[in-house]
A and B are shown apart, each in its own frame.
Chain A
Amino acid sequence: MLEIKNLHARIAEDGTEILRGIDLKVNAGEIHAIMGPNGSGKSTLSYILAGKEDYEVTEGEIIFHGENLLDMEADERAVAGVFLAFQYPIEIPGVATMEFLKTALNAQRKAKGKAELSIPDFMKLVKEKAGDLNVTMDMLKRPLNVGFSGGEKKRAEILQMSLLEPSLCVLDETDSGLDIDALRIVSEGVNKLRSPERAMVVITHYQRLLDHIIPDVVHVLSKGKIVKTGGKELALELEKNGYADFIEAA
């Protein structure tokens, strides 16, 4: 589904090189965890997948469902099936969460040539999905992410993911800022979305998220390169020994 080949990227503004040759292949149905220390390029990779314009790809390519992802605008990628769950979901004052969800869902439906959902159908769908994630009507009426707690923001991200039904979910440090209960709710929400047609790339610092969302493959990213790939046991090994071994190897 997703194939990243020799991806090099830098910050557009100052030319700082962040990614130095990433190769990654993710098949439908798989969950890949990407772990690594701060500054290794994990978030940059997620932003580049989603189409943020602050980065410049200098070499390599990203093929998604057979198409060149780098040729697409951010909104086109979303329609094609890429979803980034943000590490720091953005607060948007003045845009009610419900209104935003409806606009996003209908924009994607329109781009795919489908009819827009009627308001009753949309409300029914949102209520069903929101209930599972403990997202209240009160939250949905509030401006998007404004005044949400860390846990509420992450739950709202997963709600968006379950409504938009992407084929590739990129979760950027979704566990950061979550207490144990919130982590469980969010993880359950993510696990519910596991399917043979859907792939996930889970970016995290810590192994604890991977106790809840069990990965098929674990990669270690250091200094902009994947330095080790293994099974889920690799995460446990990292938790025990830290990243030091790999940082030196890189």
Chain B
Amino acid sequence: MNMSIPINHTQAETEILSRFDAIKSGLVGSEAVSTLREEALEEIKTKGLPHKRVEEYKYSDLRAYMKSAAAIAGEADPDAVASVLNDAGNFGALERYRVVVANGRFVPEVSDVDGLAAEGVDLGDFNDLLACENGVDLLGSPKSAGSDATIALNTAFVQGGVVITVREGVDVSKPIELVHVATEQGAQVARNRIAVSKGAKLKVLETFAGDAGNGEINVVFDYDVADEALLSVTRLIVGQSAGARLFTSLARIGEKAEFKTLGFMAGPAFARNQQFVAFEGEHSEAKLFGVTMARDTALADHTLIVDHAVPNCNSREFFKTVLDDRAKGVYQGRINVAQHAQKSDGEMMTQALLLGEDAEMANKPELEIFADDVLCAHGATSGQIDEDLLFYLRARGIPEAEARTLLVLAFLSEAIEEFGEEDVTEELETRVRNWLAA
């Protein structure tokens, strides 16, 4: 072990440590899992929560933001879950299955999965698998994530989640909404594994409902996209509660496979969406999109690492951010191309529209290329609403506020349209309009 100077724990860190001691005997998992949890907590104990001097968290100082650590939310009452879900109304009438995780634990009673098994999709409780002999494998994380603190916190405290497996060749007829619900204030820590087997296709809508208060929401999504498979993920990071929102995607992509995702952020005071994507088979594609809105003093962070570990894969990242007031946006995008990963094609673009004079965008695109026959490009822009565009719209009789809405929507829609999931386009654009009208 490295020598390190003991740190002075913040209140939140002290609370995290004592809460772990209080609940650890009741945590699910084999002995190997318990050991892993202990090790993860030790990471936090030694290094503390990540802060601005940790490069990956340079712009998102979680240590400064978390004044205290809320207790883990208790098991949810299914009736309470149902009532929160009714109020949320995400994705309206869209035909879909619904899998519910409440306060970090799978709630089959309120999930709507009739016909899912018959289609060839297996759904299980994360905890059931975690308790199995090989359960510890469910808690793995990629090398590129290092000893990431968000993942470590998740590993230490994870309460449950779901495991969804789409069998070989199955094209799931409608999207699965995977909704995380908070029925009470308190920390929500869950982990889900979604595996799409060879040649199978799945669309997932990840949504959140309820108010966790000051409790942080920490969810890890582990995706396995097998050869020739397709996985599309639309993630909504919305709602007003003050607790930090920490989301992690870990994606492994097989051969001739496609993984695409759009992270939609609007509302939370502190949100981080981190994604670690690794190509494990050739001729595959990953498309990552982001649509972000933040105002007041909110922080909205998209951090991604795409690993071109094998040749002949394409990755595309397209992120759009609108910031008002004193909000801060973060885009950290790294593309790694291994030495033998020839013919890799990586492209990232991040564009920000600053509506407020004190809004701030930190764009940090990074390329680490060790192969010599690759196409990699990155671009970053930050700007204000173009006055000429505004004048043109107003000269046609469109009032200023409406003209601004139209332009902001147009700016963000580029990413929504390129993502190309028509099922969700209207829902997302309505959410943009509502955010602008608020």
Interface of A toward B, CB cutoff 8 Å: 50-53, 73-75, 77-79, 83-84, 86, 89-90, 92-95, 100, 103-104, 107-108, 111, 143, 160, 164
In the bound complex, CA of A94 to CA of B411 (Å): 6
Query: B413: nearest residue on chain A (CB-CB)?
Result: A94
**How many residues of chain B are within 8 Å of chain A by beta carbon?**
23
Bound CA–CA A78/B393 (angstroms):
10
Whether the pair A90, B388 counts as a contact (CB closer than 8 A) is yes
Q: Known: A73-B400, A75-B400. Is A50-B395 also a contact (CB below 8 A)?
A: yes
Q: List 19 A-B pairs, Cβ < 8 Å.
A: A50-B391, A50-B395, A51-B394, A74-B395, A75-B399, A78-B394, A84-B395, A86-B392, A90-B388, A90-B389, A90-B392, A92-B392, A94-B414, A95-B406, A95-B410, A103-B402, A103-B406, A107-B399, A107-B402
Q: What CA separation (Å) do A159 and B286 show in the bound complex? A: 42
Which chain B residues numbered 365 to 420 have a C-beta less than 8 Å away from chain A?
A: 387-389, 391-400, 402-403, 406-407, 409-411, 413-414, 417
Contact A107 B398 (CB under 8 A): yes
Please judge, given known A-B contacts A86-B392, A92-B407, whether A75 and B413 are in contact too, CB under 8 Å: no
**In whole Å, how far is A48's beta carbon from the nearest beta carbon of chain B?**
12
Given contact pairs A78-B394, A86-B392, A93 touches B410 in the complex (Cβ within 8 A): yes
Which chain B residues have a beta carbon within 8 Å of chain A's beta carbons? Answer: 387-389, 391-400, 402-403, 406-407, 409-411, 413-414, 417
Given A94-B410, A103-B406: A160 and B394 interface contact (C-beta under 8 Å): no
> Considering only CB atoms, which chain A residue lies closest to B403 in the complex?
A75
Report the minimum CB–CB distance from A117 to chain B (whole Å): 14
Closest chain A CB from B417 CB (angstroms): 8
Least distance between A75 CB and chain B CB atoms (Å): 4
B406 touches A75 (CB 8 A): no
Task: Give the distance to chain A from B435, nearest Cβ to Cβ, in Å.
Answer: 16
Residues in B whose Cβ lies below 8 Å from that of A53: 387, 391
Q: How far is the CB of B232 from chain A (nearest CB, A)?
A: 22
Shortest 6 CB-CB contacts between residues of A and residues of B: A94-B410, A78-B397, A74-B394, A104-B396, A108-B397, A90-B392
Given A90-B388, A90-B389, A92-B389, verify A160-B406 contact (CB < 8 Å): no
Q: Which residues of B are found within 8 Å of A90, using beta-carbon distances?
A: 388-389, 392
Min CB gap A138→B, angstroms: 17
Residues of B near A92 (CB, < 8 A) are: 389, 392-393, 407, 410
Distance in angstroms between the alpha carbons of A163 and B431 in the assembled complex: 30
A89 to B403, CA, bound (A): 16
Q: In the bound complex, do residue B398 and residue A75 qualify as a contact, i.e. CB atoms below 8 Å apart?
A: yes
* Distance, CA A73 to CA B400, complexed state (A): 9
Chain B contacts for A77, CB-based, 8 A: 395
Q: Would you give the shortest CB distance from B79 to chain A, in whole angstroms?
A: 41
Evaluate whether A104 and B397 lie within 8 angstroms (CB atoms) in the complex, with A93-B414, A94-B410 already known: yes
Residues in chain B near residue A94, CB distance under 8 A: 409-411, 413-414, 417
Q: A79-B397, A94-B409, A104-B397 are in contact. List 4 more A-B contacts (CB 8 A).
A: A75-B395, A75-B398, A94-B411, A107-B397
Give which listed residue, B389, B394, B414, contacts A75 with CB less than 8 A: B394
Most central of B396, B409, B410 by chain A CB within 10 Å: B396
Q: Which residues of A contact B400 (CB under 8 A)?
A: 73, 75
Least CB separation from B400: chain A residue: A75
Inter-chain contacts of B395 with A (CB < 8 A): 50-52, 74-75, 77-78, 83-84, 86
Assembly CA distance A152 to B391 (angstroms): 21
User: Smallest CB-CB separation from B320: which chain A residue?
Assistant: A94
Neighbour of A73 across the interface among B387, B394, B396, B407, CB < 8 A: B394
Q: Assuming A90-B392, A103-B406, is B397 touching A75 (CB within 8 A)?
A: yes
Q: B397: which A residues are within 8 A, CB to CB? A: 75, 78-79, 104, 107-108, 111, 164
Nearest Cβ in chain B — how far from A55, in angstroms? 12
A135 to chain B, nearest CB (A): 16
Residues of A within 8 A of B402 (CB): 103, 107
Please give me the residue from chain A that is nearest to B392 by CB atom. A90
Query: Which B residues touch A164, using CB under 8 A?
Result: 396-397
- Give CA–CA (A143, B394) in the complex, Å: 17
Who on chain A is nearest to B411 by CB? A94
CA distance A6 to B395 in the complex (A): 24
Residues from chain B with Cβ under 8 Å of A52 in the complex: 391, 395
Task: For the complex, give the distance between the alpha carbons of A84 and B391 in Å.
Answer: 11
| A67 smallest CB distance to B (angstroms) | 16
Nearest residue in A to B408 (C-beta to C-beta)?
A94
Contact B409 A103 (CB under 8 A): no
Query: Chain A nearest CB: distance from B150 CB in Å?
Result: 33
Bound Cα distance A198, B409 (Å): 35
Provide the residues of chain B in CB contact with A103, threshold 8 Å: 398, 402, 406
Bound CA span A160–B398, Å:
13
A108 to B389, CA, bound (A): 18
Using Cβ atoms and an 8 Å threshold, which residues of chain A touch B398? 75, 103-104, 107
